[in-house]
């Protein structure tokens, strides 16, 4: 999996346009995408800053593009962050099923509370 190519295409940049924006050569970016050339520390910082992602995400060490943004979210508790980590790779149908199960469980708890 090449995160540079993924980010470039997700943001609708051609290799040529990205090379212009980053003041890099087209062939350098193409070789990085094809994993024929390793990224330098400077490249990693440049790409991470440009795409607003972490270096760990670029290098495939994390699946969260920018964990700092998630952690800054004031409403996001440790539990919510952990839950996000567990469900992020599921399909939308699977996520909907989990949400249905949680709502059903919540309703059972409320009914149990009323019965006491």
Residue pair 33/5 in contact by the 8 Å Cβ criterion: yes
Nearest of 1, 4, 112, 111 to residue 53 by alpha carbon: 4
How far apart are alpha carbons 78 and 80 in whole angstroms?
6
Phi, psi of 18 (to 5 degrees): -65, -40
- pLDDT digits 0-9 by tens, 53-90: 999 999 888 888 887 765 555 566 778 878 888 888 88
- What dotted CATH number matches 3-70? 1.10.260.40
Residue pair 64/5 in contact by the 8 Å Cβ criterion: no
How far apart are alpha carbons 76 and 91 in whole angstroms?
22
Q: pTM above the 0.95 mark?
A: no
How far apart are alpha carbons 41 and 13 in whole angstroms?
22
Checking if the pLDDT of 51 tops 90, the result is yes
Q: What is the mean pLDDT of the chain?
A: 87
Domains of the chain, by residue range, sit at 3-70, 75-115
- pLDDT digits 0-9 by tens, 97-116: 998 998 999 998 888 888 76
């Amino acid at each position: 999996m090449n995160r540079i190519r993924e980010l470039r295409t997700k943001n609708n940049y051609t290799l040529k346009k990205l090379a212009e924006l980053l003041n890099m050569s087209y062939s350098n970016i193409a070789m990085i995408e094809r994993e024929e050339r390793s990224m330098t520390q400077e490249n990693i910082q440049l790409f991470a800053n440009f795409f607003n992602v972490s270096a760990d995400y670029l290098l495939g060490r994390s699946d969260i593009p920018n964990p700092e943004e998630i952690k800054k979210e004031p409403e996001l508790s440790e539990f919510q962050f952990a839950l996000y980590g567990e469900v992020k790779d599921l399909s939308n149908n699977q996520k909907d099923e989990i949400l249905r199960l949680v709502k059903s469980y919540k309703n059972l708890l409320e009914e149990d509370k009323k019965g006491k």
